Protein backbone atom coordinates (compact mmCIF):
# COMPACT_ATOMS: atom_id res chain seq x y z
CA UNK A 1 0.00 0.00 0.00
CA UNK A 2 1.54 3.27 -1.07
CA UNK A 3 1.87 6.28 1.15
CA UNK A 4 -0.63 8.25 -0.98
CA UNK A 5 -3.23 5.49 -0.70
CA UNK A 6 -2.80 5.41 3.08
CA UNK A 7 -3.28 9.17 3.23
CA UNK A 8 -6.51 8.89 1.20
CA UNK A 9 -7.86 6.10 3.44
CA UNK A 10 -7.02 7.99 6.62
CA UNK A 11 -8.59 11.13 5.19
CA UNK A 12 -11.80 9.30 4.26
CA UNK A 13 -11.99 7.67 7.68
CA UNK A 14 -11.32 11.01 9.34
CA UNK A 15 -14.07 12.72 7.37
CA UNK A 16 -16.41 9.84 8.19
CA UNK A 17 -15.65 10.02 11.90
CA UNK A 18 -16.02 13.80 11.96
CA UNK A 19 -19.26 13.54 9.98
CA UNK A 20 -20.64 10.86 12.28
CA UNK A 21 -19.64 12.87 15.30
CA UNK A 22 -21.33 15.95 13.86
CA UNK A 23 -24.49 13.99 13.14
CA UNK A 24 -24.57 12.53 16.63
CA UNK A 25 -23.89 15.94 18.10
CA UNK A 26 -26.74 17.44 16.05
CA UNK A 27 -29.08 14.63 17.00
CA UNK A 28 -28.31 14.34 20.68
CA UNK A 29 -27.04 17.79 21.62
CA UNK A 30 -28.68 20.31 19.32
CA UNK A 31 -31.90 18.33 18.91
CA UNK A 32 -32.42 17.86 22.64
CA UNK A 33 -36.04 17.44 23.83
CA UNK A 34 -35.92 20.86 25.47
CA UNK A 35 -34.83 22.56 22.24
CA UNK A 36 -37.38 20.66 20.13
CA UNK A 37 -40.19 21.73 22.47
CA UNK A 38 -38.93 25.33 22.37
CA UNK A 39 -38.87 25.22 18.57
CA UNK A 40 -42.44 23.88 18.58
CA UNK A 41 -43.61 26.74 20.82
CA UNK A 42 -41.88 29.26 18.56
CA UNK A 43 -43.50 27.80 15.42
CA UNK A 44 -46.97 27.74 16.94
CA UNK A 45 -46.66 31.38 18.03
CA UNK A 46 -45.23 32.62 14.73
CA UNK A 47 -47.08 34.56 12.06
CA UNK A 48 -46.37 31.78 9.55
CA UNK A 49 -48.57 29.14 11.20
CA UNK A 50 -51.99 30.73 11.63
CA UNK A 51 -54.47 28.08 10.45
CA UNK A 52 -54.93 24.42 11.29
CA UNK A 53 -57.52 21.69 11.68
CA UNK A 54 -58.05 19.93 15.00
CA UNK A 55 -59.82 16.77 16.14
CA UNK A 56 -60.31 16.15 19.86
CA UNK A 57 -61.92 13.53 22.05
CA UNK A 58 -62.58 14.05 25.76
CA UNK A 59 -64.00 11.48 28.13
CA UNK A 60 -65.16 12.27 31.68
CA UNK A 61 -65.93 9.44 34.09
CA UNK A 62 -67.22 9.62 37.63
CA UNK A 63 -70.06 8.81 39.96
CA UNK A 64 -72.99 10.83 41.28
CA UNK A 65 -75.51 9.58 43.83
CA UNK A 66 -73.94 6.11 43.57
CA UNK A 67 -74.62 6.06 39.83
CA UNK A 68 -71.54 5.85 37.56
CA UNK A 69 -71.54 8.00 34.44
CA UNK A 70 -69.42 8.59 31.37
CA UNK A 71 -69.55 11.81 29.37
CA UNK A 72 -67.90 11.86 25.96
CA UNK A 73 -67.26 14.95 23.84
CA UNK A 74 -65.92 14.82 20.29
CA UNK A 75 -65.01 18.21 18.86
CA UNK A 76 -63.39 18.89 15.52
CA UNK A 77 -62.99 22.01 13.48
CA UNK A 78 -60.73 24.75 12.17
CA UNK A 79 -58.91 27.67 13.76
CA UNK A 80 -57.72 30.83 12.00
CA UNK A 81 -55.48 33.03 14.17
CA UNK A 82 -54.20 35.30 11.38
CA UNK A 83 -55.80 38.14 13.38
CA UNK A 84 -53.78 37.71 16.58
CA UNK A 85 -56.34 39.46 18.81
CA UNK A 86 -59.47 38.00 17.23
CA UNK A 87 -58.97 34.38 16.19
CA UNK A 88 -61.84 32.67 14.38
CA UNK A 89 -62.98 29.13 15.13
CA UNK A 90 -65.42 26.68 13.58
CA UNK A 91 -66.39 23.68 15.70
CA UNK A 92 -68.55 20.57 15.25
CA UNK A 93 -69.46 19.09 18.64
CA UNK A 94 -70.93 15.66 19.32
CA UNK A 95 -71.66 14.74 22.90
CA UNK A 96 -73.12 11.79 24.75
CA UNK A 97 -73.59 10.79 28.37
CA UNK A 98 -74.24 7.29 29.65
CA UNK A 99 -75.71 6.69 33.09
CA UNK A 100 -77.98 4.05 34.63
CA UNK A 101 -77.77 2.06 31.40
CA UNK A 102 -79.25 4.93 29.35
CA UNK A 103 -77.36 7.00 26.77
CA UNK A 104 -78.29 10.56 25.78
CA UNK A 105 -76.62 12.31 22.86
CA UNK A 106 -76.76 15.49 20.78
CA UNK A 107 -74.89 17.53 18.16
CA UNK A 108 -73.96 21.21 18.03
CA UNK A 109 -72.08 23.52 15.71
CA UNK A 110 -70.34 26.59 17.09
CA UNK A 111 -68.34 29.49 15.67
CA UNK A 112 -66.44 32.34 17.30
CA UNK A 113 -65.78 35.54 15.38
CA UNK A 114 -64.34 38.50 17.28
CA UNK A 115 -66.60 39.06 20.32
CA UNK A 116 -69.52 37.06 18.96
CA UNK A 117 -70.38 33.43 19.57
CA UNK A 118 -72.69 31.51 17.22
CA UNK A 119 -74.43 28.28 18.17
CA UNK A 120 -76.66 25.87 16.26
CA UNK A 121 -78.36 22.74 17.63
CA UNK A 122 -77.95 20.16 14.86
CA UNK A 123 -79.41 17.25 16.80
CA UNK A 124 -81.57 17.78 19.89
CA UNK A 125 -80.49 15.64 22.85
CA UNK A 126 -82.71 12.56 23.07
CA UNK A 127 -83.98 13.32 26.56
CA UNK A 128 -87.66 13.63 27.53
CA UNK A 129 -88.65 17.08 26.27
CA UNK A 130 -91.15 17.54 29.09
CA UNK A 131 -88.22 17.80 31.50
CA UNK A 132 -86.95 20.91 29.70
CA UNK A 133 -88.26 24.43 30.45
CA UNK A 134 -88.12 25.29 26.75
CA UNK A 135 -89.20 23.42 23.62
CA UNK A 136 -85.88 22.98 21.85
CA UNK A 137 -87.48 21.72 18.65
CA UNK A 138 -88.11 25.36 17.71
CA UNK A 139 -84.35 25.98 17.78
CA UNK A 140 -83.17 22.95 15.83
CA UNK A 141 -80.86 24.00 12.96
CA UNK A 142 -81.32 27.67 13.89
CA UNK A 143 -78.18 29.78 14.32
CA UNK A 144 -78.17 31.73 17.60
CA UNK A 145 -75.89 34.74 18.03
CA UNK A 146 -74.61 35.47 21.53
CA UNK A 147 -72.72 38.71 22.07
CA UNK A 148 -71.80 40.81 25.06
CA UNK A 149 -74.22 43.52 23.93
CA UNK A 150 -77.11 41.02 24.12
CA UNK A 151 -76.16 40.07 27.67
CA UNK A 152 -75.85 43.72 28.63
CA UNK A 153 -79.33 44.53 27.31
CA UNK A 154 -81.03 41.45 28.74
CA UNK A 155 -79.49 41.11 32.17
CA UNK A 156 -77.61 44.32 32.87
CA UNK A 157 -74.27 42.51 32.75
CA UNK A 158 -71.34 44.82 32.27
CA UNK A 159 -70.19 44.75 28.68
CA UNK A 160 -67.13 42.64 27.98
CA UNK A 161 -66.44 44.20 24.58
CA UNK A 162 -62.89 45.35 24.11
CA UNK A 163 -62.79 49.01 25.03
CA UNK A 164 -59.01 49.15 25.14
CA UNK A 165 -56.88 50.09 22.21
CA UNK A 166 -55.74 47.34 19.89
CA UNK A 167 -52.38 45.77 20.52
CA UNK A 168 -49.46 47.48 18.87
CA UNK A 169 -47.11 45.53 16.63
CA UNK A 170 -44.51 45.72 19.40
CA UNK A 171 -46.91 44.27 21.97
CA UNK A 172 -47.92 41.47 19.63
CA UNK A 173 -44.29 40.63 18.99
CA UNK A 174 -43.57 40.64 22.74
CA UNK A 175 -46.43 38.18 23.32
CA UNK A 176 -45.20 35.86 20.59
CA UNK A 177 -41.69 36.00 22.04
CA UNK A 178 -43.07 35.29 25.52
CA UNK A 179 -44.75 32.10 24.29
CA UNK A 180 -41.48 30.99 22.73
CA UNK A 181 -39.29 31.76 25.74
CA UNK A 182 -41.54 30.43 28.53
CA UNK A 183 -40.57 26.96 29.70
CA UNK A 184 -44.05 25.61 30.39
CA UNK A 185 -42.83 22.12 31.29
CA UNK A 186 -40.80 21.21 34.37
CA UNK A 187 -39.96 17.76 32.99
CA UNK A 188 -39.48 16.51 29.42
CA UNK A 189 -38.84 12.81 28.85
CA UNK A 190 -37.99 11.43 25.41
CA UNK A 191 -40.05 8.40 24.32
CA UNK A 192 -39.88 6.26 21.20
CA UNK A 193 -40.52 8.21 17.99
CA UNK A 194 -43.82 7.53 16.22
CA UNK A 195 -45.84 8.59 13.19
CA UNK A 196 -49.03 10.62 13.50
CA UNK A 197 -51.16 10.46 10.34
CA UNK A 198 -48.06 9.76 8.25
CA UNK A 199 -45.88 12.46 9.86
CA UNK A 200 -42.70 11.27 11.59
CA UNK A 201 -42.68 12.78 15.05
CA UNK A 202 -40.58 13.14 18.17
CA UNK A 203 -42.50 11.72 21.12
CA UNK A 204 -42.17 13.20 24.61
CA UNK A 205 -43.77 12.95 28.03
CA UNK A 206 -44.06 16.38 29.65
CA UNK A 207 -45.11 17.74 33.04
CA UNK A 208 -46.78 21.15 33.26
CA UNK A 209 -44.99 23.72 35.43
CA UNK A 210 -47.82 25.66 37.08
CA UNK A 211 -45.45 28.35 38.39
CA UNK A 212 -44.19 28.99 34.85
CA UNK A 213 -47.77 29.22 33.60
CA UNK A 214 -48.71 31.75 36.27
CA UNK A 215 -45.60 33.78 35.51
CA UNK A 216 -46.57 33.71 31.82
CA UNK A 217 -50.03 35.07 32.67
CA UNK A 218 -48.51 37.83 34.80
CA UNK A 219 -46.12 38.89 32.04
CA UNK A 220 -48.89 38.72 29.42
CA UNK A 221 -51.02 41.06 31.50
CA UNK A 222 -48.09 43.44 31.89
CA UNK A 223 -47.42 43.50 28.13
CA UNK A 224 -51.08 44.19 27.30
CA UNK A 225 -51.55 46.75 30.10
CA UNK A 226 -54.08 44.52 31.86
CA UNK A 227 -54.47 44.01 35.59
CA UNK A 228 -53.32 40.74 37.15
CA UNK A 229 -53.85 41.02 40.90
CA UNK A 230 -52.62 38.91 43.77
CA UNK A 231 -56.21 37.71 44.07
CA UNK A 232 -56.12 36.50 40.46
CA UNK A 233 -52.91 34.62 41.17
CA UNK A 234 -54.40 33.03 44.29
CA UNK A 235 -57.50 31.90 42.37
CA UNK A 236 -55.35 30.16 39.75
CA UNK A 237 -53.19 28.50 42.41
CA UNK A 238 -56.32 27.22 44.17
CA UNK A 239 -57.64 25.94 40.85
CA UNK A 240 -54.52 23.82 40.39
CA UNK A 241 -55.21 22.22 43.79
CA UNK A 242 -58.17 20.42 42.20
CA UNK A 243 -55.92 18.65 39.69
CA UNK A 244 -53.45 15.83 40.01
CA UNK A 245 -49.96 16.31 38.63
CA UNK A 246 -50.66 17.39 35.05
CA UNK A 247 -48.69 15.30 32.58
CA UNK A 248 -49.15 14.65 28.86
CA UNK A 249 -47.59 12.94 25.90
CA UNK A 250 -46.89 15.16 22.88
CA UNK A 251 -45.84 14.44 19.31
CA UNK A 252 -43.79 17.04 17.39
CA UNK A 253 -42.98 16.78 13.67
CA UNK A 254 -39.32 16.00 12.98
CA UNK A 255 -39.15 18.13 9.84
CA UNK A 256 -41.26 21.15 10.77
CA UNK A 257 -41.24 21.16 14.61
CA UNK A 258 -45.04 21.54 14.66
CA UNK A 259 -47.33 19.97 17.24
CA UNK A 260 -49.35 17.05 15.88
CA UNK A 261 -50.88 15.32 18.89
CA UNK A 262 -51.46 15.59 22.65
CA UNK A 263 -52.68 12.85 24.99
CA UNK A 264 -53.35 13.38 28.67
CA UNK A 265 -55.03 11.55 31.55
CA UNK A 266 -55.70 13.21 34.90
CA UNK A 267 -58.22 13.52 37.73
CA UNK A 268 -60.21 16.51 38.93
CA UNK A 269 -61.04 16.57 42.64
CA UNK A 270 -64.60 17.54 43.56
CA UNK A 271 -64.56 20.15 46.38
CA UNK A 272 -65.67 19.02 49.85
CA UNK A 273 -65.84 15.36 48.81
CA UNK A 274 -63.51 12.43 48.21
CA UNK A 275 -64.88 11.99 44.69
CA UNK A 276 -62.92 12.59 41.51
CA UNK A 277 -63.70 13.01 37.83
CA UNK A 278 -61.39 11.10 35.54
CA UNK A 279 -60.46 12.95 32.34
CA UNK A 280 -59.00 11.38 29.21
CA UNK A 281 -58.02 13.78 26.41
CA UNK A 282 -56.68 13.25 22.89
CA UNK A 283 -56.07 16.23 20.57
CA UNK A 284 -54.77 15.82 17.00
CA UNK A 285 -53.68 18.78 14.85
CA UNK A 286 -53.26 18.78 11.07
CA UNK A 287 -53.57 20.79 7.83
CA UNK A 288 -51.34 23.64 8.95
CA UNK A 289 -51.60 26.80 6.84
CA UNK A 290 -54.31 25.48 4.55
CA UNK A 291 -57.10 27.87 3.56
CA UNK A 292 -59.83 28.16 6.19
CA UNK A 293 -63.17 29.87 5.58
CA UNK A 294 -65.09 30.89 8.70
CA UNK A 295 -67.99 33.29 8.16
CA UNK A 296 -70.83 34.75 10.20
CA UNK A 297 -74.10 32.86 9.61
CA UNK A 298 -76.46 35.07 7.62
CA UNK A 299 -79.65 33.82 9.28
CA UNK A 300 -78.57 34.02 12.95
CA UNK A 301 -81.05 35.22 15.58
CA UNK A 302 -79.95 37.11 18.67
CA UNK A 303 -80.66 35.98 22.22
CA UNK A 304 -83.14 38.85 22.46
CA UNK A 305 -85.00 37.56 19.38
CA UNK A 306 -85.14 34.04 20.82
CA UNK A 307 -86.34 35.18 24.25
CA UNK A 308 -88.90 37.55 22.73
CA UNK A 309 -90.39 34.72 20.67
CA UNK A 310 -90.47 32.55 23.80
CA UNK A 311 -92.34 35.16 25.85
CA UNK A 312 -94.72 35.92 22.99
CA UNK A 313 -95.67 32.27 22.67
CA UNK A 314 -96.27 31.81 26.41
CA UNK A 315 -97.47 35.24 27.60
CA UNK A 316 -98.60 37.05 24.48
CA UNK A 317 -96.25 40.00 25.01
CA UNK A 318 -94.82 41.93 22.06
CA UNK A 319 -91.54 42.91 23.65
CA UNK A 320 -88.95 41.21 25.79
CA UNK A 321 -89.07 44.12 28.21
CA UNK A 322 -92.88 44.36 28.38
CA UNK A 323 -94.64 43.02 31.47
CA UNK A 324 -97.48 40.62 30.56
CA UNK A 325 -100.98 42.08 31.12
CA UNK A 326 -101.90 39.04 33.18
CA UNK A 327 -99.17 39.78 35.72
CA UNK A 328 -100.42 41.75 38.75
CA UNK A 329 -98.01 43.66 40.93
CA UNK A 330 -99.28 43.62 44.54
CA UNK A 331 -99.72 46.94 46.31
CA UNK A 332 -97.85 45.69 49.35
CA UNK A 333 -96.35 42.59 50.82
CA UNK A 334 -97.50 41.34 54.22
CA UNK A 335 -94.85 39.95 56.55
CA UNK A 336 -96.10 36.94 58.54
CA UNK A 337 -96.35 37.66 62.26
CA UNK A 338 -94.43 34.53 63.19
CA UNK A 339 -91.51 35.36 60.89
CA UNK A 340 -88.26 35.44 62.82
CA UNK A 341 -86.46 38.52 61.54
CA UNK A 342 -82.82 38.71 62.64
CA UNK A 343 -81.55 41.88 64.25
CA UNK A 344 -78.11 43.36 63.83
CA UNK A 345 -76.13 45.46 66.32
**DSSP string for 121-183:** EEE--SS-GGGSSS-GGGGBT--EEEEHHHHHHHH-PPP-S--SPPPPHHHHHHHHHHHHH--
Between residues 152 and 183, which one has the greater pLDDT?
A: 183
Residue 16 placed within a domain: no
With vertex at residue 89, the alpha carbon angle to CA 85 and CA 93, rounded to the nearest 5 degrees, is: 145
Residue 192 placed within a domain: yes
Greatest alpha-carbon span in the chain? 122
User: Mean per-residue pLDDT for 284-305?
Assistant: 90
pLDDT value for 274: 80
Residue 178 CA: distances (Å) to CA of 166, 212, 217: 18, 11, 10
Residue 183 placed within a domain: yes
Q: What is the domain extent for residue 105?
A: 50-286
Residue 35 placed within a domain: no
23-27, 158-162, 240-244: least confidently modelled range = 23-27
Number of structural domains (the chain) is 1
Average pLDDT over the chain, rounded to an integer:
80
pLDDT value for 13: 40
CATH of the domain at 264: 2.50.20
pLDDT-derived band at 115, boundaries 50, 70, 90: confident
pLDDT, tens only, 209-251: 999 999 999 999 999 999 999 999 999 999 988 888 899 999 9
Q: Is 206 exposed, middle or buried (0-12, 13-18, 19+ CB in 10 A)?
A: buried
Residue 219 placed within a domain: yes
User: Mean per-residue pLDDT for 131-150?
Assistant: 75
Residue 14 placed within a domain: no
Highest mean pLDDT among 5-19, 87-101, 252-266: 252-266
Say whether pLDDT at 91 is over 50: yes
- Percent residues over pLDDT 70 in the chain: 73
Residue 298 CA: distances (Å) to CA of 111, 116, 136, 145, 327: 13, 13, 21, 10, 36
User: Mean per-residue pLDDT for 70-89?
Assistant: 91
Residue 126 placed within a domain: yes
Residue 279 pairs in a beta bridge with 60, 266
Residue 117 placed within a domain: yes
pTM for this prediction:
0.76
Name 153's Cβ contacts closer than 8 Å, sequence gap at least 6: 304
d(CA 305, CA 144): 9
* Residues 115, 162 contacting (CB under 8 angstroms): yes
Say whether pLDDT at 320 is over 60: no
Q: If phi over 0 gives left and psi between -120 and 50 gives alpha, with beta otherwise, what is residue 298? A: alpha
d(CA 251, CA 203): 5
User: Mean per-residue pLDDT for 102-127?
Assistant: 88
Amino acid sequence: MTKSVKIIIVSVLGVGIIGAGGFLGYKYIYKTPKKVVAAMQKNLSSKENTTFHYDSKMTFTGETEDQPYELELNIKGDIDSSDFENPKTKNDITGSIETSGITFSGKLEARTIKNDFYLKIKEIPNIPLETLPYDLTALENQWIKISSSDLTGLYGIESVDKDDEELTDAQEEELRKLVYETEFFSEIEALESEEIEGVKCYHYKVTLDKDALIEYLEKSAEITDQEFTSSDKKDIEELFDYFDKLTAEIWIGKKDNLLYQIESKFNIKIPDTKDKIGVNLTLTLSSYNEEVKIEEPSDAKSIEDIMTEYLQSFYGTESLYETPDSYEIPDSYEIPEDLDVPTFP
